[in-house]
Amino acid sequence: MPTPQSLCLINNHFVPADSGNTFPVTDPATDKAIASVPDCGSAETWRAIEAAAAALPEWRTRPAPARARVLRTMGDLMLRDQDRLAAIMTAEQGKPLAEARGEIAYAASFLFFSAGEAERVYGQTVPASASDKRILVLKQPVGVAAAITPWNFPSAMITRKLGPALAAGCTIVIKPAEATPLSAFAIGEIAIEAGVPAGVVNIITGDPATIGREIFRHDAVRKVSFTGSTEVGKILMDQAANRIVKLSLELGGHAPFIVFDDADLDKAVAGLMANKFRNAGQTCICSNRVFVHERVFAEFAQRLRAQVAALKVGPGTHDGVQIGPLIDDAAVEKVASHVANAKSKGAKVTVGGDLVKVPDHANRFFAPTLIEDANPEMKCFSEETFGPVVPMMKFSTEREAIDLANDTPFGLAAYFYTSNASRLIRIAEALDYGVVGANDAAPSTAQAPFGGTKESGLGREGGHWGVEEYLETKYVSWGV
């Protein structure tokens, strides 16, 4: 792995924690430490916010095309360094190198798209009801933004916030996940090389509760964008109430995947394989409950069995590996407990179901697993598993499929396959989710609005909707 930066970024200086304390970053495939990073607290968080506040007046008034140029340069540099950044990501996160390269390109796409959007932040004029008045609607940056991001997409979840924030004219303080800070620091280095002025992008690591608390306490922070678990999202929403901080929450999912009897089964199997097993099933939009019409269930299960059993498990750095390690021991325990719970309720596990031993590596590799007779009583049908487990269940009517799919407090992503156009629009409208894949299991892209309903979150990232989250709407009533 290339030597990554391992210090925090405040005001364009890479700095240690005031105390000098650090915490280790480990490779999930081996459980060995690969770096140590600063364990910051209140004082450093405060300094990062003040740096962002000091940088705000110049950045927000810099012409949009000039801000856009900086973002495009950042995107170009990420692509230039794609292999280096992917190696850092695989080392700290575990995903196969090919997937990590893909994530770097995906992360850069948010910078490119945001650069374009920076130049399209349009205000409006509105016809007034008196001849001596004019109504102007201005779009202005909210101010200093803070981003709190998860470990499963260590680069893309940062640029999906940084890109639109800088495009809107905001400055930002980023707190990456403890497990994956090196990808964040690498983005910090790229920001400096791209010409991002001091204080516009700041990155700190340390105790999450302390950093989170300070972010909500400091008056300069006017926007917080969080991606992570619903549990932590609820804590942040509570904290945001104190100062009425604008909040975006991209939280957990529990995606249904429905296969109707008129579906193209080849496409449905391929879609499910790609969607479910990316990042070893550790994605917020991966399918967690698969509902297959009873007429095609046997055929679908048979095709799926063969493909799931053929997946190659191993360290992300090894050629051809499709399933890397889970992020930590707690993740392994959760996945194993979901499988054990399903078995205890009578489930038939037809593929996988246990850890795979990889010589000289940690016990973090869980076999791609197929449960063919799952039911809503099982934990895997009510909680996000976050692992390579496919629980399947039969259904017989369209109504039953919709009710099963919507029977969850989550509402992030849902998928279905059908070749009937009328059914397609009927189901798309009936699914209570923010993102619906209709004959498509890979909906994420920089230009589309991404986000959830119900306990999956608030707000949208991507497209002009993503930039809108960092803007205030100001109405100027102009007497002439």
- Closer of 169 and 176 to ligand NAP (Cβ): 176
Binding to ligand NAP by residue 212, rule CB under 6 A?
yes
Strand pairing report for 144-148 and 246-250? unpaired
- Does residue 227 interact with ligand NAP by CB under 6 A? yes
Shortest Cβ 19–ligand NAP spacing (Å): 17
Helix (H) or strand (E) holding 54: helix 42-61
**Which residue's CB is nearer to ligand NAP, number 157 or number 351?**
157
In the list 73, 93, 152, 288, the residue contacting ligand NAP (rule: CB under 6 A) is 152
Which among 285, 282, 369 is positioned nearest to 331, based on CA atoms? Answer: 282
Q: Which of 30, 229, 307, 439 binds ligand NAP (CB under 6 A)?
A: 229
Query: According to the binding rule CB under 6 A, does residue 177 interact with ligand NAP?
Result: yes
Q: Which residue, 41 or 169, has its beta carbon nearer to ligand NAP?
A: 41
Determine, following the binding rule CB under 6 A, whether residue 89 of this chain makes contact with ligand NAP.
Answer: no
Binding part of the chain for ligand NAP, among 26-34, 66-74, 109-117, 207-215 by CB under 6 A, reads 207-215
154 makes contact with ligand NAP (CB under 6 A): no
Which of these is catalytic: 44, 250, 372, 384? 250
End-to-end CA distance of the chain: 64
| Nearer Cβ to ligand NAP (52/301) | 52
- Residue 444 lies near ligand NAP (rule: CB under 6 A): no
114 counts as binding ligand NAP under rule CB under 6 A: no
Give the residue, chosen from 109, 149, 171, 183, that forms a contact with ligand NAP under the rule CB under 6 A. 149
Does the protein bind ligand NAP through residue 4 (CB under 6 A)?
no
Please tell me whether residue 94 binds ligand NAP under the rule CB under 6 A.
Answer: no
449 makes contact with ligand NAP (CB under 6 A): no
64: how many CB neighbours lie within 10 A of its CB? Answer: 16
Instruction: Give min distance, CB of 110 to ligand NAP, in A.
Output: 12
| H or E stretch at 455 | none
**Candidate segments 15-23, 152-160, 287-295, 472-480, binder of ligand NAP by CB under 6 A:** 152-160
Neighbours of 216 (CB within 10 A): 18
- Please, how many CA atoms are within 13 Å of residue 434, restricted to the half-sphere of its CB? 28
- In the range 236-295, which residues lie near ligand NAP by CB under 6 A? 250-253, 284
The residue range among 58-66, 118-126, 175-183, 186-194 that interacts with ligand NAP, by the rule CB under 6 A, is 175-183
Catalytic residue among 284, 286, 372, 380: 284
C-alpha–C-alpha distance, residues 449 and 217, integer Å: 29
In sequence order, the 6+-apart residues with CB closer than 8 A to the CB of 233 are 226, 249, 251, 457
Query: Which amino acid is residue 410, in one-letter code?
Result: F
Q: How far is CA 405 from the centre of its chain?
A: 22
Q: Which residues contact 17 (CB under 8 A, 6 or more apart)?
A: 8, 38, 39, 40, 41, 44, 206
The reply to whether 250 belongs to the active site is yes
> Are the C-beta atoms of residues 225 and 147 closer than 8 Å to each other?
yes
Which of 384, 398, 455, 469: binder of ligand NAP (CB under 6 A)?
384
- φ, ψ for residue 175, nearest 5 deg: -115, 105
Binding test (CB under 6 A) with ligand NAP, winner from 10, 172, 232, 336: 232
Decide if 284 is catalytic.
yes
Q: Does 148 bind ligand NAP (CB under 6 A)?
A: yes
**Which residues, including other chains, have CB under 8 Å from residue 60's CB and lie 6 or more apart?**
140, 141, 169, 170
7 within 8 A of 15, measured Cβ to Cβ: yes
Write out the binding residues for ligand NAP, residues 402-421 only, by CB under 6 A: 412
Q: Applying CB under 6 A, does 369 fall inside the site for ligand NAP?
A: no
DSSP class of residue 448 equals S
Task: Kindly tell me which of 158 and 393 has the beta carbon lying closer to ligand NAP.
Answer: 158
Q: How far is CA 196 from CA 76, 88, 95, 181, in A?
A: 14, 22, 29, 20
Q: What is the smallest separation between the CB atom of 140 and ligand NAP, expressed in angstroms?
A: 26
* Residue 171 makes contact with ligand NAP by CB under 6 A: no
Q: Does 442 bind ligand NAP (CB under 6 A)?
A: no
C-alpha to C-alpha distance for 252 and 408, rounded to whole angstroms? 12
Which long-range contacts does 227-231 make (Cβ < 8 Å, 24+ apart)? Answer: 227/148, 227/149, 227/150, 227/157, 227/160, 227/161, 227/251, 227/284, 228/148, 228/149, 228/150, 228/177, 229/150, 230/410, 230/455, 230/456
Q: Which is nearer to ligand NAP, 296 or 380 (CB)?
A: 380
Size of the site for ligand NAP (CB under 6 A): 28
Cβ 178 to ligand NAP shortest distance, Å:
3
By annotation, the residues acting in catalysis are: 250, 284
Provide the binding-site residues for ligand NAP, judged by CB under 6 A: 148-153, 157, 175, 177-179, 208-209, 212, 227-229, 232, 235, 250-253, 284, 384, 412, 452, 457
